[in-house]
Amino acid sequence: MKDKKIVSEIVDILNKILECELAGVVRYTHYSLMVFGHNRIPIVKWLRDQASESLQHASVAGEHITTLGAHPSLKIGKLTETEKHSLNDILTESLEHEESQLNNLYTLLKLVEGKEVYLEEYAREMITEEEAHVAEVKKMLRVQPK
């Protein structure tokens, strides 16, 4: 890729994706510590699996950034402590987080579509994973798809 302006825009959105995934690691780990009740064990496992997946996603985004000759961000995406820890509150916050990341991924896709196949495929794969995750959380919340 030769256009430095486009490369800069791609790196910026990849860094947003990286930061959001790192926030997911913290967020899902925190949530896993705050679950109580009869169904705690499978829910905690699911949340910790989400934290691990976020770390893996962050690593892949960082690899793409360094492939482009840039520097991965050390920042972490937005983290807010709502002090709300019911399972519905946790899932609602998770849904908002995942939908925000989907917006980042769609932005990346628009930037690279038809220009960089490997980044286009990465964006599509991540969108597929995130949309499946959003659908699963909506099922858990019993929110009907649009």
Tally the domains of the chain. 1
Residue 8's CATH number: 1.20.1260.10
Question: What φ, ψ does residue 82 adopt, rounded to 5°?
Answer: -85, -15
Per-residue pLDDT of 48-104, as tens digits, reads: 999 999 999 999 999 999 999 999 999 999 998 888 889 999 999 999 999 999 999
> Percentage of residues in the chain with pLDDT exceeding 90?
88
Q: Which two tokens stand for residue 94?
A: 């998770």
Identify whether 146 is part of a domain. Answer: no
The whole domain housing 124 covers 4-141
Look at phi and psi of residue 114 and say left if phi exceeds 0, alpha if psi is from -120 to 50, else beta: left
Secondary structure of residue 86 in the 3-state scheme = coil
Identify whether 107 is part of a domain. Answer: yes
